[in-house]
Amino acid sequence: MFDEFRRVFGTRRDVLPSRGAPWRDEMLVTVPGYSLFMDEFAGASFRGGLYRVHDDRSGPAAAQRISEMFPATDIRPFAFDWLGRQFGFEVTLAEDARFKSVLLVEPGTGEVLTIPATFDEFHDSTLHRYEDAALASGFFSEWVDASRPTLPISHDDCVGYRVPLFLGGADTVPNLELTDMSVYWGVAGQLWLATRALQPGDGLGGVSIESGDS
């Protein structure tokens, strides 16, 4: 199990300061391969911060951020990417469906997307077969080429949108900035919850939400 992940990602594991201990979320310990993966990779970062695995410090903090931005869910994350997007499972689903699909939680778009893969399939197939779709690796390369950042990205940071896409921000490199993860999620969450209550034409600061027919 996870041989392909070790081959594709493990050989490009980033050197980082010592992190926390493996995080075993009580709702995820029954996921096949979860404990084994966390024992080996908790707190690890790969390829400059493209893909990162939670530890017992970052995991609970991420779960709290998700619950604040998406209060109707109970998504338990196991990893995150350079854009601060979280990968996890919705644990309130029926038991036979709970761990059949990985969820991708996007603070910049306000979306929760479904990836049809189990935990082991996600790491041993999806991440290298559909790397750009899952991790926006091409976009990451564009940002690195343009910004020349110091890599790897810290576990406490991510590359966020200056203006979230759900507020009309452009999905382009000039709209990206390296930022503190907790600040980015906090601001994005507040804006997302506020804009959901707006009607077409209502304003939020300097941003106006327009209807698609205007």
Which domain covers residue 40, as residue numbers?
Answer: 3-208
Q: Which two tokens mark 112?
A: 């929760």
pLDDT value at position 91? Answer: 95
Q: Which residues of 10-48 are buried (b: 16+ CB within 10 A; e: fewer)?
A: eeeebeeeebeebbebebbeebebbeebbeebbbbbbbb
Question: Angle 178-115-152 (CA atoms, 0-180°, nearest 5)?
Answer: 25
| 213 found inside a domain | no
| 214 found inside a domain | no
pLDDT value at position 206? Answer: 41
| 31 found inside a domain | yes
List, for residues 114-152, the tens digit of each pLDDT value: 999 999 999 999 999 999 999 999 999 999 999 999 999
| 28 found inside a domain | yes
pLDDT value at position 16? Answer: 82
Question: Is the distance from CB of 82 to CB of 158 less than 8 angstroms?
Answer: yes
List, for residues 70-90, the tens digit of each pLDDT value: 999 999 999 999 999 999 999
pLDDT value at position 197? Answer: 62
Q: Which residue has the tokens 């029926």?
A: 94
**Residue among 16, 27, 45, 186 at smallest CA distance from 93:** 27
| 41 found inside a domain | yes
- How far apart are the C-alpha atoms of 107 and 76, rounded to whole Å? 15
What is the domain count for the chain? 1
Question: Is the distance from CB of 42 to CB of 22 less than 8 angstroms?
Answer: yes
- DSSP line for 11-23: GGBPP-----PPP
Q: Which residues of the chain have pLDDT under 70?
A: 18, 197-214
